[in-house]
Structure formats: C-alpha cells, structure tokens
Structure 1
Amino acid sequence: MTEPNAPRRRAPGMSTEQRREMILQTALPLVAEYGSAVTTAQIARAAGIGEATVFRVFTDKDELIQACVARALDPTQLLSHLGTISLEQPLADRLVEAAEAVQGHLGRMGAVLGALAATGRPPQRTPPAAGDARPAGRDESQAATKAAVAELFEPERDRLRIPAPVAADVFLGFMFARGRSTLAPDLTAAELVDLLLHGALR
C-alpha cells in the first residue's frame, strides 16, 4: 500500500519527437471526423495533455493539420505492410492481403482529405522535411507502391501473360479507381482479386 505522503512517481518524460508522434496519432482521427473545425483543445483533451503542450511541438493549428495531411498521404505504413506479405502464400492470397492494405490506406487518406474539403479547407501537399527519407511526392509514392506490388507478382513471372510491373499497374489501377468511385462497391477484396486474375467469364 502506498504511503499517503510518499512522493508520486512521474512517468518518464517524452522526447519532442515522441510527443509530436503522440499528438499526431491522436489528432488524425479527430481531423478525419471534424476537418478544419477540430480545435487544439479537443486534440489536447483526447491526448490527455494540456493545450499548451500542443503548441510546444506545433507552431499553430495550421501546422498540426498540415502534419496530419502529410501523414495521411504518407505511404510508409502501406509499404511496410506490403513488404511483410509472405511470398510463400498463393498469389491470390498475397493480392487479397495487398488489396486490403491499399484499401485501408485509401480509406484513411480519403477520410482526412474529405473532412478538410467539407469544412472549407482544401489540403495542400507539403514537401518533406529535410532528411526525411519518405517518398517526397505522388510520383515517388506511386512508384514505391508499384514496386512493392510487383514483388508480389514476381514468383509467378513465368506464368504471367504480362511483366510483373505491368500486372502491378493493372492491380493498383483497379484499386485506386475503386477508391475514387463506386466501382464494384459490393465486391470483397477476394472477389476483386479473383476477377483480376481470372476475368469475368465463368
């Protein structure tokens, strides 16, 4: 039992980078829900910190929102997931896992960008900070994603009618087109992959 007058042990302090990451992780779903109407007070409350702590890491709400946009667009999590898909699985299983990862990425991105647009703040792409190793823009992100998906096709290259990078292009074109429209909304990832690999004929 703790003595009444015993000094309270404080949790180890976080570095600036750790605090920034914690605030960003907390802010992302709030920005996806409220768009630019979210307040730093809401974010601080959800993070369990004082509002002043937010401003020790971010200059203002604008900088925080821009960081959320950059994180939503950042393909690092997607690329990491694609890189962990086992090539020992059948091709269809690999592609279903990849499709679900791509759909998750597009969903997170669409939620943040859509909420900001709906609240009157069209997001702008910002260049990466100096020393940031992540892909700098859309072209680089798409190239990295295409290469990761092409790797999933490579074990079957002798059976493919087209080169693996072209197959990856078709796969991603299908996924991104579906993400931007109501293309085949009722089809599961497994059904989409089956359609891609075997066509529409029985």
Structure 2
Amino acid sequence: MSEATSRRRAPAMSPEQRREMIVRAALPLVVEYGTSVTTAQVARAAGIGEGTIFRAFGDKDALLAACMAEAARPDDTLAHVEAISLELPLAERLIEASEALRGYLSRMGAVAGALAASGGLRREFPPEAGGKRAMNGREASMAATREVLAGLFEPERDRLRLDPERLAEAFQFMTMASGRGVTPLTSAELVELFLHGAYAGGGREN
C-alpha cells in the first residue's frame, strides 16, 4: 500500500474547520520547535497530506501567524470564566478564574516565546483571527476579560468597598503579575491576598 493510500484521509470539513484542525495539531509543535517546525511535521500530526496545509494557508508563515493568533485568542478562557457558578463563595470563584486566566497566559507565552526564540513571525496575525468575540487587539481583549471578571463580583456588590468593575481591573492585573518572580503566588494565595490584604487575620497597622 502506498504512502498516499495509507495516510488517514482528512474528514470532510469546511475550510474554516480544516484550518482550525491544522492549527490545533500545529500548536504543540510550534511550542517545541518554534519557526523551525516543518509543514511535514504538522501534516503528520494532523494526519493529512502536506498539500492540504498549503491549500488551507498558502505557506508556512501564514500557518505560524494563525497559530499565534489562536494562542492569543481568549474566547475559550472567557467562556470558562463566564460559566463559573455564582453560587460558589467569592473566593472559590476567583481562584477558578485565576487558574483559567493563568493557563491562558501560560499557553500564549509558550507559543510567543518559542516563535521569538527561533526568529519570530514574519507575518502579522491574519485579519480574520479573533474568533467569536472578534477581538480587535490587546485592549479589546483586556476589556472583555475585565467584563467577565466583574460579573464574578456582582453578587457581592453591596458588600464591596469598590465597584465590581474596579475590583475586576485590579484582580486582572494582579493575576497577570502573580505568575512572575522567583516564588510566584498560587491562585489561592493571590485570592487570599486580594480579598483580605497582607496582614494576618485581616488586621490593620495602627
């Protein structure tokens, strides 16, 4: 049996579905190899012919740009945060949100770091990238994140010192910074510090 006939045939998909499938297969390879990844490697991982990649993206640079755009797309993470039950205590809601956001930042950083370390992208994100929320750049993504985080604070609005929107912004920036440093805070430590401050027992300095 020839290689062409032994290779698993790609299922019937729309062009957009095929591109998404190829990007999903390519992302772990991009993290491992950066810009040195080959279309042949991606084709093997996706179980398709190499020509299918070129028909879907045109060239490898377009594929790499699509991979970076997918890694930067926050749709799934924001949907996860939006789905957190408001019946949970606030601390548990924020821990789950922190874990989701930090996972997203870690994945995005892994892809961006691998590409940068191996020469960087030679092509900008494709204009159609952005998914269901049609994100228009980093500021729009940050704003959407603040919006879903504010929803987690809303049930306690009458008990809060600040509006949910302002607390969401503060929590967002703390989450982004908390994974850095020599001894990064865990999500539970971050939420404890955010809700109760630095003093043990919630006390204040005289």
Which deviates more, 133-142 or 65-74? Answer: 133-142
Paired residue total? 191
| Contact 1:22–1:47 (Cα < 8 Å) also in 2 | yes
Q: Output the TM-score relative to the length of structure 2.
A: 0.86
**Equivalent residue, structure 2, for 1:6:** none
- TM-aligned CA deviation for residue 119 of structure 1: 0.5
Percent identity between the two aligned chains: 58
| Contact 1:117–1:123 (Cα < 8 Å) also in 2 | no
Deviations 1:147-192 (A, max 9, x none): 000000111111111111111111111111234x31641x321121
**Equivalence map 1:143-158=2 (5 Å):** 143-158=143-158
The 1-side partners of 2:177 and 2:139 are apart by: 17
Mark the runs of 5 or more structure 1 residues left unpaired by the alignment. 1-9
**Equivalent residue, structure 2, for 1:111:** 110
Distance 1:92 1:74, change over 3 A: same
Mark the runs of 5 or more structure 2 residues left unpaired by the alignment. 1-8, 201-206
**Equivalent residue, structure 1, for 2:190:** 192
**Equivalent residue, structure 1, for 2:173:** 173
The 2-side partners of 1:19 and 1:199 are apart by: 49
- TM-aligned CA deviation for residue 62 of structure 1: 0.3
Q: Output the TM-score relative to the length of structure 1.
A: 0.88
Q: Secondary structure at the match of 1:157?
A: helix
Distance 1:199 1:123, change over 3 A: farther
The 2-side partners of 1:116 and 1:11 are apart by: 27
| Contact 1:76–1:134 (Cα < 8 Å) also in 2 | no
Deviations 1:99-151 (A, max 9, x none): 00000100010000000111121576536329964211111100000000000
Q: Secondary structure at the match of 2:159?
A: coil
**What root-mean-square deviation, in Å, do the aligned CA atoms of Structure 1 and Structure 2 show?**
2.0
The 1-side partners of 2:122 and 2:104 are apart by: 17
